[in-house]
Structure 1
C-alpha cells in the first residue's frame, strides 16, 4: 500500500511539473494528455521534462536588446526608404511595439502581388530568428540592384518581416511572454476547442491574428530554435497520438519544406528527420499553434522552421547561422512565384474585381480573390496538372485545367453574370485571355470594356466631326 502511494505521488509530481521542450517547447494541453506514450515509448510531448540551461549574461552578450533592435529597424527604414516602410501591428504585454519591415518596390501600396511574412522570436528564449531577420532585410536593401533573386523578391513580392513577436520573453530570458504564456499554444485550434477562449488571448497573439486577416498573406514562416528541421501542418491530431496527420495541401507543404531544407547548408542531411522536413503531428502533436491557424483561418501557408540546434547559441555563431539559412529564406519567398497559379477574377460587365472563390479539384481547400483588385494566389506543388474552378454567387462558374511548372503560371478568370448569352461572351473572352510571356491580354479587355469604351467612342465621334468641319471649310 505504501509502495502504491509512492508511485501515485511520483506520477502526480510528473504531471504537475512545469513543462518545457527543446525545440517546439511547452504545452498548454490538458494534463491528461501529457503522460501518454507513443508506440516507441517516447513521451507524446517530446522533451517536455528536459531541464533548460540558464541563460547567462555571457550568452546574451552580442545579441541586440529590444531597444537596439528597434533602432536597427528604424535605421533600416531610413536607409532603404525607396523599397521599404516600417509599421507596427500592436504592442506586447509590456507595451513594446511589434515593428514590421515591409520590403517591396511599391511598399504600402495595394497591388496584385503575393505577400509573404517572416516572424521571429515567437519564444523568448529562441533569439536567433530576430538576428537573422534584420540581416535579411539589410541584405535585400544592399543587393536588390545586384542580385537577380533579391530583385525578383523586391519587384514581385510584398515581404513583411516581424523580427520579434515576443520582446518581453526575450528581455526576461524565458520562453513565454510577460504573462508566462507560450504564444505558440495561444491560437484557436481545430482539435482543441477549449483554446478558443477569446478573452484569454494574449495581446501578441491578437496582433498577429488581426494582421493576418488584414493583409491576406499568401505564405509565411516562423523561425524557432532547438532543432534543425522544416515543420509543416498539421501540428495536432484528433486522438492526440504521435502520427502523420496530413492537411489538404500536404503535397504543397512538403514542396515548400523541401525548398527550405535543400537550400540550407545541412538541414536536408538530418539523420533524425528524413530530408530535413517533418509533419508536425508525426514529430509530436501540439495544440494552439500559429502554423495551423494561419492555414485554416488566414488562407496562409505557414511553415515552422527550426533553424538552430541550440536555442540560444553564442553570438559569435550568428554569422555562420546567417550564411547557412540565407539562401533558404530567399528561396522560400521566391517559391511564391514558382509554386502555384496567380491571376485576377473580374466581372464580364465592366471588368470589376470579384472576391470569388478558387478551388482545385481533389483538394478540400479554398482561397479567395481580394475585393479591391480581384487578385488571387493559389500555391500548388509544381510539375502537376490541376483542374481549377472559380465561382461566386450570382455568376456562372468557370473551370479550366492548367499545368504548373517551375515558373510563374498566370490564370485569369472573367465570370459572366447568370442569365447572359454565355456562348457569345465566351467567344469574345477566349480571344483575349491568354498568358504570353507572363503578360496577359486582360488589360486590353478592361480597356475596351464598359465606361472606357463609351468615353473613347464619344471622343472618336467628336474627332471625326471636327475633321469633317475642317475639310468642309477648306472646300469653301
Structure 2
C-alpha cells in the first residue's frame, strides 16, 4: 500500500506528471480543477505559477510527481481595470476553501453561457483565481507544505507586537505546527509563487482586492484584514471601512465578524501583511487583502464525532453541511465582483469622505 511521505532532498527517480490514480486518492480537488480547465479552455486564461515536486513512498518503490499551482483568469486583459482575486488551499488541511472556489468558478463558467449581466461585469473587471496554492500539503492532509512550513507564517516580516505563543509562528522545528522556516532562508516555493502572482496580476490595477479562503477558527465566520503582526491602524482604513459599509448596508443580515486579524491573534510572517506593506510604495493604487475564516468549530459543535478526525476540525464532513457552507458564502463572493466593478462609486475620493470613513474605522476597530 502506497503512503505519502516527505519529499526527498536527493533523488534519482523519474519525475512524472501526477497520475489520475494519485489525484483520485489524495487530491480530488486538483482533478476537479484540471477538469474545469480542460472543459472550459476557451473561456479561461490559465497560468502555471509553479510546479511542486512531491514524493510517494512504499515498501518497494517511490515515485516523485509534479504538482502544478494554477492561476485562472476570466474577464478583461486591461491592467487599468480593477482586479479581484480569490485564493484557496494555502493550508492543505483546509480543503473547504478550495472546494468553495471550485464551486464558484464552475458556477461562473456555466452562467457565462446565458448571463448578460455577468458578461457585462467581466468586461470591466479582471477576475483571477488561485484555488489550490499548497497541493503537496493537501495531498498529505496537513496544514503546512511538504517541507513542514506554514505558508502563512513564511514571509520575512516579524510582528511588531507580542504574538500568541506558537500559534504566532515558531522556528523550533518543522515537526511542530506553525513553523516559519529557517531564519534568513528564502520563502517556500508556494509562498514565492503567490507573491509573484500578486505583483504581476494585482499591483498594476487602480484597485485590487483579494479574498483568501481559510477555515478552522471560532464558532462564527470572520472576514479579516491586515494587520496580523501589528495593532497599528491600517493605512487604507478608510477604504476598508467604505467597502464594509457598502457590504453591510446592502446585506444587513449577514453573519460575519469583520475585524483586523490582530483582534483574534497576532502572528509573525503573514503573507498578506508582507504584500500589503509592499503595496504602499505604489502610487495611486489601492490593494485590499481580505481573509475569509470559516468558523469550523460550529461544524464540530453540531457533529462532535468530527473531533476524532483531524480533517473534521477544519472541514464539514456531513454532505448537507458542506452544501450549506457553499451557499452561505456565495453571497460574499458575488458582492465582491459587483463592488469591484463599481469601485469608483464607493471608494472615498474626497477629503470629507475619507475623514468620515476614517472616523468610522477608528470607532469600530481602533478605539
Structure-2-length-normalised TM-score: 0.65
Q: Larger RCO: Structure 1 or Structure 2 (Cα < 8 Å, ≥ 6 residues apart)?
A: 2
Match of 1:79 among 36, 39, 42: 39
- 1:303 paired with 2:303, answer no
Shift of the 78–125 alpha-carbon distance from structure 1 to 2, 3 Å rule, reads: closer
Q: Does 1:207 align with 2:193?
A: yes
Structure 1 residues 134 and 96: alpha-carbon distance in aligned structure 2, compared to 1, 3 A threshold: same
Q: Matched residue of 1:314: which SS?
A: coil
Q: Quote the Cα distance in structure 2 between the aligned partners of 1:113 and 1:140.
A: 19
* 1:425-440 pair list within 5 angstroms: none
| Residue matched to 1:219 | 209
Which whole-Å CA distance do the structure 1 matches of 2:209 and 2:333 have between them? 12
Aligned counterparts of 1:236 and 1:97: Cα–Cα separation in 2: 30
Partner of 1:334: 338
From 253, 256, 260, the counterpart of 2:243: 256
CA distance in 2, matches of 1:245, 1:169: 33
The answer for the alignment partner of 1:435 in structure 2 is none
Equivalent residue for 1:181, pick from 146, 149, 153: 149
Aligned to 2:328: 324
The structure-2 alpha-carbon separation of the partners of 1:102 and 1:236, relative to structure 1 and needing over 3 Å to count, comes to same
1:121 aligns with 2:89: yes
> What's the offset of the Cα at 1:127?
1.0
8 Å CA contact 1:231–1:303 kept in 2: the answer is yes
Please name the residue that 1:169 is paired with.
137
SS of residue in 2 equivalent to 1:178: coil
**Cα distance, 1:91 vs structure 2:** 2.4
Distance 1:147 1:301 in 2: 28
Corresponding residue pairs, total: 273
1:95-106, aligned counterparts within 5 Å?
95-104=66-75, 106=76
Q: Which runs of 4+ in 1 moved over 4 A?
A: 63-67, 192-198, 257-266
Counterpart CA distance in 1 for 2:327 and 2:128 is 21
The equivalent position to 1:235 in structure 2, one of 228, 234, 251, is 228
Q: Distance in 1 between matches of 2:26 and 2:338?
A: 29
Picking from 126, 132, 155, the partner of 2:100 is 132
Q: Rate the CA distance shift 1:125–1:118 in 2: closer, same or farther, 3 A.
A: same
Residue aligning to 2:315: 312
Q: Which residue matches 2:11?
A: none
Q: CA deviation at 1:190?
A: 6.0
CA contact (8 A) 1:114 1:157 kept: yes
Q: CA deviation at 1:264?
A: 7.5
Which residue, 260, 265, 268 being the options, matches 1:284?
265
Check the 8 A contact 1:86/1:99 in 2, yes or no: yes
Structure of higher CA gyration radius: 1
Preserved contact between residue 220 and residue 301 of structure 1 (Cα < 8 Å)? yes
Q: Deviations over 1:261-319 (max 9, x none)?
A: 777797x446xxxxx20111122111211221222224631101112424121150222
Contact 1:93 1:204 in 2 (8 A): no
Q: Relative to structure 1, is the Cα distance of residues 219 and 190 closer, same or farther in structure 2, using a 3 angstrom cutoff? A: farther
C-alpha contact 2:159 2:266 (8 A) present in aligned 1: no
Structure 2 unmatched ranges of 5 or more: 1-22, 55-65, 162-170, 172-179, 280-285, 298-313, 355-367
Whether the aligned pair in 1 keeps the contact of 2:24 and 2:31 (CA below 8 Å) is no
Distance in 2, Cα, partners of 1:321 & 1:88: 29
8 Å Cα contact 2:84/2:125 also seen in 1: yes
Aligned residues: CA RMSD: 3.2
- Residues 111 and 215 (structure 1), Cα distance of their counterparts in 2 relative to 1, 3 Å cut: closer
Alpha-carbon distance between aligned partners in 1 of 2:245 and 2:259, rounded to the nearest angstrom: 10
- Preserved contact between residue 213 and residue 291 of structure 2 (Cα < 8 Å): yes
Partner SS for 2:123: helix
- Conserved 8 A contact 1:261-1:277: no
The 1:301–1:86 alpha-carbon spacing in structure 2 relative to 1, beyond 3 Å, is: same
Change (3 A) 1:69 1:127: closer
